[in-house]
Structures are given as C-alpha cells and as structure tokens.
Amino acid sequence: MIGRMPVAGRAATARPRPSRGWLRRWVGLAFVAPWLLSFVAFDAVPILSGFYHSFTDWSITGSPTRFVGIANYREAFTRDPLFWKAVTNTLYYIGFSVPIGILAAFTVALLLNRKIRGTTLYRTIYYLPSVVPTVAATIVWTFIFETRRGILNWVLEFLHLPIVRWLSDPAWAKPALIIMSLWGMGSSMVIYLAGLQGVPQELYEAAEIDGAGGWQRLVGVTIPLMTPTIFFNLMMGLINAFQVFNSAFIMTGGGPFNATLFYMLHLYNHAFRYFRMGYAAALAVVLFVVVLTLTAIVNRTSDRWVHYS
C-alpha cells in the first residue's frame, strides 16, 4: 500500500491535457481573416458611410459636411427634375432587356445543347463576347450604330428600308442599348447550358413513349426543370440591369435629350460632375432599397413557379 502512494500522488497532481479546440478556432479565424478584413474595409464600412452621408450635405471640394436630415431624399422625390426621368428610363431598359435577354440566352442554349457537329466551336463563339471588356465592346457598337457608316444601317439600306438614327434619335437610343445588351448573353447561355445537361434523359424518353412531341417535351419537362436556373438568371439580370452605366456613359452620355439618362448615370453626374456626394449617397440608398425590395418580392414569389425536383 505504501508502494502505491507515489503513483496515486502523481495521478492526483497530473494536469489534464489542454483542449485543442481553441487552436482550431484560431487557425480557422486566421484563414477567414483576409476575407473578413476585406469585407469590413470594402463593404461594411462604405455601406454604413453611404447611409450616414445620405443625410448630409457633403461635397469633396473641401466645404464642411453639414447634417441636413432627409432633405436629400425630399429633393430627389419632389424637386429633382431628372430623378423621375432617370427612373423611367431605367425601368424601360429593365422591362425589355431582362425578358429579351433571358429568352435569347435560353433559346441559344437549347440550340447548342443538341448533339451536332461543331457544337463546341459554336458554344465558344457565342460565349466569347461576354468576356470582351465592356469599354471595347461599347466602342465597337458605337461604330455599328453610326447613322451613315454603321453596319446596321447598311443592312437596312440593302433591304430597302429607311435608315435609323440609332444614337441621335430619342425614340431609338434606348432600343439601341437594349440590342447591345444581348451582346453579353454568353454568360447566361453557359448557365442555361449547364442546367440543360443536368436534365435526366429518362424523363425525355418517358415523355416520348407517352406520345409527347418536341414542344410538349419542352413545356412539360425542360422548362419546369430549368426554372431554378431561370430564377437565378432572372435575379442576376434584374440586379445588373438596375446598374446599367457603361454603355450609356460611353455611347450617349445620357443623351439625346436625356433619353438614355439611366439611374446610375444620374447618380454619377451628381457625385463626380456636380460633386454633391451627399445627394449621390441618398440616390445610392434609394437604389439599394429598391433592388433589395424587388429581389425579395421575386424571391417570395419563386415558390409558385420554381421547381427544385
């Protein structure tokens, strides 16, 4: 019994091994830290700063910042003569470019999903325009839309149709930009193509055995199973369409007669042309709330038409 005392004493005085859970947590935080720091520095802080400055009269010319409450919002909705013009132009662009873009990309994806010779080459050709820099593509389309030497008007003349002043006529300026927006449908087309290749072939075979034709298979099998992909592209299309800027800024500058003065261009003018950063921040907050509300509504209605199985 005496010989066992040292062993018992050592067991009593032995310390438990420290848990390695704290080490795992710190290692995890170390890996997450770069993203977390960038999120705080480049997302959270600018968003909070924008909300704050939307209630101020702030200019980058050096004048002191002055708190004005909701005066910027009141000016936007009641006294800014171009605010509602920019809203109308943007809604017009969204109402046509988003549905046409979805329909065109989906149609091209259906055609490229067929097993024909040279399909890989065709897919590459349709996808390449989406990776071309926006500025370069816009400059190219500026030459295409030229009234006298543009390719589109040359085609119209060849067909004995009247030429169109695409970028100088207020009635045709927005349709011209909508036509140009189809240039970058390759990214959406690739997503549709990936979704189409995930549709089980057994369903097509079962529908064909039941006597379903091509159109019936498209409506009864393909489109229902592609609704999650359509929903994703719809959300991304809405968000991107609200932020249309480059094409209008480079090609028309908002003209002619403010026909292409989109919301982001109106915001840019107040921020970097008139140096009214406080008012521009208020416009940005309004855009943020509108996009957030619209995407929430679309997401809420998705339960009625999006099928995940």
CATH topology of domain 71-305: MetI-like fold (1.10.3720)
Contact between 276 and 194 (Cβ < 8 Å): no
Does pLDDT of 275 surpass 50?
A: yes
- Residue 56: name the closest of 70, 68, 71, 74 by CA: 68
Binned at pLDDT 50, 70 and 90, residue 5 comes out as: very low
Please report, rounded to a whole number, the percentage of residues in the chain having pLDDT higher than 70: 93
Mean pLDDT of 88-99: 96
Domain boundaries, the chain: 71-305
pLDDT of residue 1: 44
Strands 56-57 and 66-67: antiparallel
**In the block, residue with structure tokens 């008139």:** 274
Contact between 272 and 260 (Cβ < 8 Å): no
Mean pLDDT of 177-182: 94
Q: pLDDT for 122-175, tens place per residue?
A: 999 999 998 999 899 999 999 999 988 899 999 999 999 999 999 999 999 999
Binned at pLDDT 50, 70 and 90, residue 25 comes out as: confident
Contact between 156 and 163 (Cβ < 8 Å): yes
**CA 206 to chain CA mean position, Å:** 37
pLDDT of residue 61: 78
Please report, rounded to a whole number, the percentage of residues in the chain having pLDDT higher than 90: 73
Mean pLDDT of 11-25: 64
pLDDT of residue 156: 92
**Amino acid symbol at 160:** H
Contact between 101 and 185 (Cβ < 8 Å): yes
Strand partners, 120: none
Binned at pLDDT 50, 70 and 90, residue 65 comes out as: confident
Q: pLDDT for 201-252, tens place per residue?
A: 898 889 888 888 889 999 999 999 999 999 999 999 999 999 999 999 999 9
Binned at pLDDT 50, 70 and 90, residue 55 comes out as: very high
Q: Which of 261-265, 292-296, 300-304 has the lowest mean pLDDT?
A: 300-304
Query: pLDDT averaged over the chain?
Result: 90
pLDDT of residue 309: 67
Contact between 46 and 60 (Cβ < 8 Å): no
